[in-house]
Structures are given as C-alpha cells and as structure tokens.
Amino acid sequence: MGYVFDFNDSKNYELRFLNPRNVHAFDLQMGLMLKMLAPEPGRSILDIGCGTGRTLEPLIGHDLLLTGIDPSPYMLDIAREKLGDRADIHRAFAEQLPFEDNTFHYSFFFTSLEFTEMPAKAIEEACRVTKDRVFIGALNKYAPLNILRKLKSIFIKKPLYQARFFSILELRQISFDILGDVPIQWKTTLQFPFNRSRICRWIETLSLVEKSPFGTVIGMTITPVPRFTTRPLSLKIKEKGLYNPVSGFAMNKQNAHENRIQ
C-alpha cells in the first residue's frame, strides 16, 4: 500500500509552503517538469499522487484536461476544495489506476513515487494509461541534501524522511525492464537548495547544470511507445504448372506466356 498521508501529514504538507525556500524548490521542479513534458493545450494529463492539488494548480492556465489520483482521503479533501470542478479527482493507488489503456496524453509523478509500495508497478501502470509521455520527478538518493535527509530519518519520523529515494540509473533500469529500449531523457534540478538568489535560479536552468547527476530532484521523461526490430526473411517458392481457367488443364510457364500474348 505504501505510505498514505493522514490528516496531520496533509495539514503539515500545506504548511510547508509558507516557507519561501520550499516555494523556491517547488517552482524549480515545476519548471523542469513543464520544460521536459511540454504538454500541448487541449490534451489530457494525469497527476499520480496529486496530494492536495498543489501540483495541478499551475497547470490550470495551460488549457489541459486535469485528472488527479491519490490514496489519501485527507489530501483529496484539500485538493477538491482548492480545485473545485477544474480537475477530476479520484481516490486510487498508483499501482492500480482505475483507467483504461491510453486514456491520457501525459501523466506524471511529482515526488510521489517515493511513497509507493511497488514503484516499478506504479511506473508500469502510468505507462499503460499514457499515450505520449510520462514524467517522473523523484528525489535523488545521491544528492547531498537527500543524503542528509536519510541521516535525519534515523531520528525523525516525518513522511519526507521515510520516503524511498532513487538514482537516475535505477529509474532508467526500471523503465527499460518494463518497456524495453524506449526513449528516455533525464535532467536534475535544485543543485543549490539553500540558495534562492536570482543568479542561482538562472544557473539552475542552464542545460549543462541540469545534466548534473547530483541535483536534489531527478526529472525523467519516458515515451512509452512499442519499438520492434524486424529483419527480412527469405522464402523458397517452388515453381509449379499454372492452371488455365478456360481449359481446366495445368500448363507450364512457357505455355502460359504464349496464351497471354495470343
């Protein structure tokens, strides 16, 4: 089942955004997702682990058909109050999405994969219901800040410190195991989590910096398309006499040719 946020977790999650540092981190992650996912207006998108709806809110202005799922009824209560009828909200688990194949053009995990019980199954389900691209925003196990968080988890039992972190190679391997050799791209963000200056924000968006494997958050897009390798096969055909529909007798190739030119 994974970790399901209770009432206090849900309330504290919203309170985190009173801290400007957390708002700064959220903005960088959302910017990276929009850049990598590049959703086209009028298309459908699924937020897997939408929580309180905070990750759906910035998408409202992009003219997208919004859907969110989350296992926590407390998180969803806040999301429904926040979003109203601007998003379709469901209670469900990432490992068992209540949608048909290829229902959405896009889907994404925004630091929610960390709380699933079976991350590989969750990614598989996302790829099943998605036509175009799946985005995974996940906490990087090799980032300095996340290493510190893991150390803190020995003493602090808050949800974030209990999350499972991932590496770029792990996410790639899970995706390849599910889909084969499909197109995958990755970047990272929040290289300087304790600096909110304008210069650092600009540096964060540089292509070379985004390819650092040590950013706090990994952004990865998967294109879940089937890819087949084909090779020509040689067929051996034994030449036989041809059948003349007029006479009803078999004839050889030469006689058939003579009949055609008469």
Domain ranges of the chain: 7-222
Query: Where would I find the beta strands (DSSP E) of the chain?
Result: 44-48, 65-70, 88-91, 104-110, 130-139, 184-189, 217-222, 242-243, 250-251
* Total Cβ atoms within 10 A of residue 72: 23
pTM of the predicted structure, to 2 decimals: 0.84
Query: Where would I find the beta strands (DSSP E) of 42-123?
Result: 44-48, 65-70, 88-91, 104-110
User: For a pLDDT cut of 70, what percent of the chain falls above it?
Assistant: 85
Q: What angle do CA 130, 135, 136 make, to 5 degrees?
A: 125
Specify the fold of 7-222: Rossmann fold (3.40.50)
Average pLDDT over the chain, rounded to whole? Answer: 88
Tell me the pLDDT band of 189, cut-offs 50, 70 and 90: very high
| pLDDT at res. 249 | 46
Give the pLDDT mean for 223-237: 64
Sort 82 into a burial class: Cβ within 10 Å, 0-12 / 13-18 / 19+: middle
Three-state DSSP class for residue 146: helix
Three-state DSSP class for residue 178: helix
Tell me the pLDDT band of 236, cut-offs 50, 70 and 90: low
**How far is residue 32's CA from residue 17's CA, in Å, rounded to a whole number?**
19
| pLDDT at res. 49 | 97
The predicted-structure confidence for 46-86, as pLDDT tens digits, reads as follows: 999 999 999 999 999 999 999 999 999 999 999 999 999 99
* Total Cβ atoms within 10 A of residue 44: 18
Choose among 242, 240, 223: nearest CA to 135.
Answer: 223
Tell me the pLDDT band of 4, cut-offs 50, 70 and 90: very high
| pLDDT at res. 161 | 72
| pLDDT at res. 81 | 95
Tell me the pLDDT band of 28, cut-offs 50, 70 and 90: very high
| pLDDT at res. 156 | 75
Is residue 159's pLDDT more than 80?
A: no
Give the pLDDT mean for 110-131: 96
